Amino acid sequence: MNYERLTRKQLPKRVYQLLKRIGNTGDEMGLSVFVVGGFVRDLLIGSPNLDADVVVEGDGIAFAHAFAENEGGQVKRHRRFGTAVVVLPDGFKVDVATARTETYAHPGALPSVNPASIKEDLRRRDFTINAMAMALNEDRFGELVDFFDGKADILSESVKVLHDLSFVDDPTRIFRAVRFEQRYGFSIEPHTAELLQRAGSEDCFKTISGQRLRNEILLILKEENPFPAIRRLANFDLVKYIHPRICVSDELAELLDRIRDMGWCPNWDMALISLIALLDQLSADEAVDVSERLALRKRHTEALSLCKMRLPDILQRLDGINLQPSEVYRILKGLPVEVLRFGMAKCQGASDNILLYLTRLRKVRRLVNGNDLRRLGYSEGPLYTQILDETFAAQLDGLRGKSQAIQFVTDRFPL
Ligand code: CTP
């Protein structure tokens, strides 16, 4: 079956045309080129995915350079895996790889790679639904390359490995299986579930780095609705690899629901907010254990620590209490937005005060600065800080405009 029409219908025009031009560069170089993996899966499922992973039968790096030159783009390369990213002038990125086999020196190791055919390249992948390609060369454009019945598994809504050692080769696939299953409302096929269970019960994660485990867990937490996947991980008894004391309860489901109900903004790190929720029942020391085991980034570790060390007290001070805006500002100043959003979901009585801070107070800019004080005739010294702080607090509590602010200064601190 040919998917040219579906591709044209489903994708934004510029992405469709980009795929055509990728095929044209392949034709110019006499190389077969394909778009693969999640892009093809989501095309067939009908959910938009613009992460174009391109595989070339032949020198992927040379192809990336030729394509970037045709487009006026730039190439960033990853020598070890024979992969490159072409960054187009409008910022759109295309990942390019040489079709390759992968062998694992030991379970969980990063693979050694060798050039191969598209069939072999697809064979090394995690699940049949992710092991399809679509040809991009002019004479084959839209042809589905599906050696492992990925399309049939999409139709029967199954997540299925290609071979029995898949989870042993790469234990991160355990989390990926659950993520795809829950994202699409599919089922992990019974034999795959058995393999997953077996790999999961043998603490296979000790062979992979904390960073790889962390990436997969954050990808789950970044899903639009992460709870079903977390519950499924708990059914497979896998949550203990994050921390044995995490309890996947109705309270956690409600907390995550409330986080989702707050909506979403591109500036928020949703995975971090959900991670804070997941670790909510843990003590500060246990949260530190998780940070270390998952090699969390500094920003995440710091946010977790704020939630354990300072947030409970802060929420108590804000809970159901009518405070002056300047007081709310003083209490919340400097806290990361994710900690504040979590605080809102955790304690509804504090959420009005937090929202006031997020939507108004933190954006307020000072009306009076040191130069103004100098001009007014105040001599420089520690008094400046006091005047500026008090004026800013008054501004938060209602002063409007620069002349009111200056008036406040001269009334409150007569020269
Ligand atoms: N892949 C794999 N094993 C992994 C990770 C990735 O076989 N542990 C392969 C799969 O074929 C996958 C492709 O690499 O489709 C790209 O991986 P990635 O970008 O992580 O995922 P997507 O499938 O694109 O999924 P998502 O929608 O979550 O980005």
Least confident of 48-52, 119-123, 152-156, 373-377: 48-52
In total, the chain counts a number of residues equal to: 415
Give pLDDT, residue 97: 95
Nearest ligand 1 atom, CA 170: 8
Dump pLDDT digits (tens) for 108-135: 677 787 889 999 999 999 999 999 999 9
Dump pLDDT digits (tens) for 227-237: 999 999 999 99
Cα distance between residue 321 and residue 29, in whole Å: 70
CB of 170 within 8 A of CB of 212?
no
CB of 200 within 8 A of CB of 237?
yes
Query: Is 170 a pocket residue for ligand 1 (Cβ < 6 Å)?
Result: yes
Dump pLDDT digits (tens) for 63-101: 999 999 999 999 998 766 778 999 999 999 999 999 998
User: How many alpha carbons lie under 13 Å from residue 232 in its C-beta half-sphere?
Assistant: 23
pLDDT at 106 over 90: no
Cα distance between residue 164 and residue 167, in whole Å: 8
Query: Is 53 a pocket residue for ligand 1 (Cβ < 6 Å)?
Result: yes
CA distances from 184 to 178, 223, 228, 307, 358 (A): 10, 11, 11, 32, 34
User: Which positions ≥6 away from 227 have C-beta within 8 Å?
Assistant: 252, 253, 256, 257
Q: Residue 37 C-alpha to ligand 1 middle, in angstroms?
A: 6
Q: Residue 173 C-alpha to ligand 1 middle, in angstroms?
A: 9
Model confidence, pTM: 0.91
**First-to-final CA distance of the chain:** 85
Q: Which has the closest alpha carbon to 149: 165, 160, 136?
A: 160
Q: Residue 53 C-alpha to ligand 1 middle, in angstroms?
A: 9
% pLDDT > 90, the chain? 86
CATH 3.30.460.10 domain range(s) in the chain? 1-154
pLDDT at 255 over 90: yes
Cα distance between residue 35 and residue 28, in whole Å: 17
Tokens encoding 284 = 């500060």
The pLDDT mean for the chain works out to: 94
Give pLDDT, residue 63: 96
User: Which positions ≥6 away from 38 have C-beta within 8 Å?
Assistant: 49, 51, 53, 130
Dump pLDDT digits (tens) for 336-368: 999 999 999 999 999 999 999 999 999 999 999
- 262 falls in which pLDDT band (50, 70, 90)? confident
Query: Is 171 a pocket residue for ligand 1 (Cβ < 6 Å)?
Result: no
Atom 26 in ligand 1: residue holding the nearest Cα: 38
User: Which positions ≥6 away from 270 have C-beta within 8 Å?
Assistant: 221, 222, 259, 264
- 206 falls in which pLDDT band (50, 70, 90)? confident
**Position 383: which residue type?**
L
Cα distance between residue 68 and residue 5, in whole Å: 26
Q: Which has the closest alpha carbon to 134: 18, 1, 14?
A: 1
Pocket test for ligand 1, best of 125, 168, 174 (most atoms within 8 A of CB): 125
Range 382-397 average pLDDT: 94
Regarding predicted confidence, which is higher, 162 or 321? Answer: 162
Burial code (b: 16+ CB inside 10 Å, e: under 16) for 273-305 equals: bbbbbbbbebeeebbbebbeebebeeebbebbb
Give the number of other CB atoms < 10 A from CB of residue 263.
8
Q: 3-class DSSP state for residue 335?
A: coil
Q: 3-class DSSP state for residue 98?
A: strand
Cα distance between residue 69 and residue 8, in whole Å: 25
State the fold for domain 1-154: Beta Polymerase; domain 2 (3.30.460)
Q: Which has the closest alpha carbon to 212: 123, 298, 108, 113?
A: 108
User: Which positions ≥6 away from 286 have C-beta within 8 Å?
Assistant: 243, 245, 279
Give pLDDT, residue 80: 67
Dump pLDDT digits (tens) for 299-344: 999 999 999 999 999 999 999 888 999 999 999 999 999 999 999 9
Dump pLDDT digits (tens) for 5-29: 999 999 999 999 999 999 999 999 9
Give pLDDT, residue 172: 94
Return the axis-axis angle of helices 227-235 and 250-261, rounded to nearest 10°. Answer: 160
CATH 1.10.3090.10 domain range(s) in the chain? 157-283
Range 211-227 average pLDDT: 95
Query: Is 130 a pocket residue for ligand 1 (Cβ < 6 Å)?
Result: yes
Q: 3-class DSSP state for residue 48?
A: coil
Query: Is 37 a pocket residue for ligand 1 (Cβ < 6 Å)?
Result: yes
Q: Report the sign of the C-alpha dihedral through residues 229, 232, 234, 238, in that order.
A: negative
Nearest ligand 1 atom, CA 131: 11
Tokens encoding 190 = 């019974």
Specify the DSSP class assigned to residue 126: S
Dump pLDDT digits (tens) for 35-59: 999 999 999 999 978 999 999 999 9
Give pLDDT, residue 109: 76
Cα distance between residue 154 and residue 149, in whole Å: 9
**Position 352: which residue type?**
D
Superfamily of domain 157-283: cca-adding enzyme, domain 2 (1.10.3090.10)
